[in-house]
Amino acid sequence: MIIRWILFLLGVLLFAMWDISGASFLPSWISIRLIVPFAFFCFFTERYRHAFIALFVGAAVQDIFRWDGFDSALLRWTIIYGLMQWLAERFLTNRSLYVVCFLVLAFQSLDWFSAWMLSGIGIVLGFSSSFSLPDHWISILVWEVLLTVIGYGIISWSDGRLVRFKSKGYGS
Amino acid sequence: MTTIPRWLRYTLGIILLGVFVMTGIFRPIQNWAQSLLLPMSRWFVGVSSSISTSQNPDDRIQDLENRLTAVTADYVRLRALEEENRGLKAQARFLDRSGYDSVGARVIRRELEGQRASFLIDRGRDDALEIGQAVITDNGVMIGKISQIYDRVAEVVLLTDAKSRVASALQGEGRLTGVLEGKGNGAMILTYVPSSAQLKTDQLLITAGTEEKVPANLPIGFVSIVRGQPTDPFIDASIESLVRFDEVTLVSVLRPTALAPKL
């Protein structure tokens, strides 16, 4: 059990370091980030604790290397994760692939929005620099959704059940 | 016995975390974690840089660009030496005589998005770096200044960042010409240039040397477009950089010789 947790933490740390030092040196169209898809992969296999730890470690590594005194990924990601969980528990009970993709997109959009908001406050208070949406934001979203879909597909295939690609409507 | 609701505990936890983060209590932990994660970071940079290099479709053009940059840098250096009647000398000796030495660093994070243009390098306070010191490429072209510093790493604000300001001069003029301002998205503009200045396209821009930690005669870029009327008090010009920031992986930081660690 402990060994499994150590391996998990090491894996998460590697993913987080890749997002910081690896992805930014690749051409923009293959700038693949791993931590968010991985966390949501855990989230939708109902390993909430794993998902939270993955996001927490990912955010901590981001803050270690880019914290500018005000805008903290640790703070933003913790809040967004809480919001996502609350949203998923109350409204998004259907675990279809559409829901998975929607939440990944919502997480990333909220991440950028909150970074923009916090950096704005930080500028007013004289702490941080202005936030800029990544130039290749579409490819970031596409890769995150694609990786989540692949992960979801693999786990469904290994469990012996097919991925439900669309939710069932009433009466079907 | 009353229990605190879950949402309240969660909110209090977040507020507490926010207070801790903003007061800088985590700064020693941050320094320690940076030291611990640096080797992993360097390894990832190596891996992704090699992937990125193998993706380049036209290496020959890149080689020629690099050579042009190197030749331009040499030209500037030689002209500077000629003007000062010092004769020919190597880059290292130039640095020695100008009272600066250089420390090599590897870029471990790159941020070139919109208004932001910055690098994180694997040298910091432990290597006697200070905020405001000039950062150059291996060809001697200035690319930015140190803006934030930790024990083992430092942040470099590149010349194209919206916050960047560098006192600049035209090659051969030998005096301050204007202020080079970053505009984001890879753009730089030379502003506050008196309209009496003879500003022409393809002229070479260098550092003016009026800033405390930035030596003179470091090449920056070429004048590409000149804007303004002769009747205006000031004119400005777009500047084209001599290097592509998205291809820089190794840099040098210029620090006063007095700050170099004694061996």
The mean pLDDT of chain B is: 80
Using a CB–CB cutoff of 8 Å, tell me whether B51 touches chain A. Answer: yes
Which of A78-92, B4-18, B64-78 is the most confident on average? A78-92
Q: In chain A, which residues have their Cβ closer than 8 Å to the Cβ of B249?
A: 25
pLDDT classification of B230: cutoffs 50, 70, 90? confident
Residue B15 touches chain A, beta carbons under 8 Å: no
The predicted-structure confidence for B59-108, as pLDDT tens digits, reads as follows 667 777 777 777 777 777 666 666 555 444 444 555 555 567 888 998 98
Contact B200, B185 (CB under 8 A): no
Mark A5-31 as b/e (b = at least 16 C-beta within 10 Å): eeebeeebbebbbbbbbbbbbbebeeb
| Predicted confidence (pLDDT) at residue A172 exceeds the cutoff of 70 | no
CB A148 within 8 A of CB A100: yes
A141 or B2: which carries more pLDDT confidence?
Answer: A141
Calculate how close chain B gets to A159, using CA atoms only, in Å.
33
Bridge partners, residue B144, by sequence: B135, B158
- In this prediction the ipTM stands at 0.71
More confident residue, A165 or B150: B150
The CA distance from B197 to B178, in Å, is 10
pLDDT classification of B228: cutoffs 50, 70, 90 = confident
In this model, does residue B201 exceed pLDDT 60? yes
Q: Least CB-CB distance to B22: which of A22, A24, A70?
A: A70
Across the interface, do A69 and B34 touch by the CB < 8 Å criterion?
no
pLDDT tens track for A13-45: 999 988 888 887 887 777 788 888 888 888 777
- Measured CA to CA, the distance from residue A66 to residue B154 in angstroms comes to 10
- Under an 8 A CB cutoff, do B47 and A22 touch? yes
A29 near B CB under 8 A? no
- pLDDT one-digit tens code per residue, A92-135: 666 677 777 888 888 889 989 988 888 888 888 777 677 778 87
B6 band by pLDDT with thresholds 50, 70 and 90: confident
Identify which has the larger pLDDT, B14 or B252: B252
The answer to whether residue B21 scores a pLDDT higher than 50 is: yes
Examine the pLDDT at A88 and tell me if it is beyond 80: no
Question: Inter-chain contact B44–A18, Cβ cutoff 8 Å?
Answer: yes
Which residues of chain B neighbour A133 with C-beta distances below 8 Å? 113-114
Please tell me the predicted confidence (pLDDT) of residue B70: 74
pLDDT in tens, B128-182: 899 999 999 888 899 999 998 888 899 999 999 988 999 998 887 767 788 999 9
Q: Which pTM value belongs to this model?
A: 0.74
Does B18 contact chain A (CB < 8 Å)?
yes
Give CA–CA dist B241/B190, Å, rounded: 12
Beta pairing partners, B178: B168
| pLDDT value of residue A145 | 87
**Using CA atoms, how far apart are residues B242 and B204, in angstroms rounded to an integer?**
10
B110 touches chain A (CB under 8 A): yes
Q: How far apart are CA B216 and CA B203, in angstroms?
A: 17
Residue B7 CA: distances (Å) to CA of A55, A152, B149, B189: 19, 30, 38, 50
**Beta-carbon separation of B48 and A78 below 8 A:** no
**Banded pLDDT at B261 (limits 50, 70, 90):** low
Start-to-end Cα distance in chain B: 66
What is the CA B97 to chain-centroid distance, rounded?
Answer: 22
The pLDDT score that the predictor gives to residue B29 is 81
Which residues of chain A make contact with B40, given a CB cutoff of 8 A?
13-14, 17, 21
Residues of B in contact with A31 (CB under 8 A): none
Tokens of A29: 């169209």
| CB pair distance less than 8 Å for B163 and A69 | no
User: Is A25's CB within 8 Å of B48's CB?
Assistant: yes
Tokens of A23: 């992805």
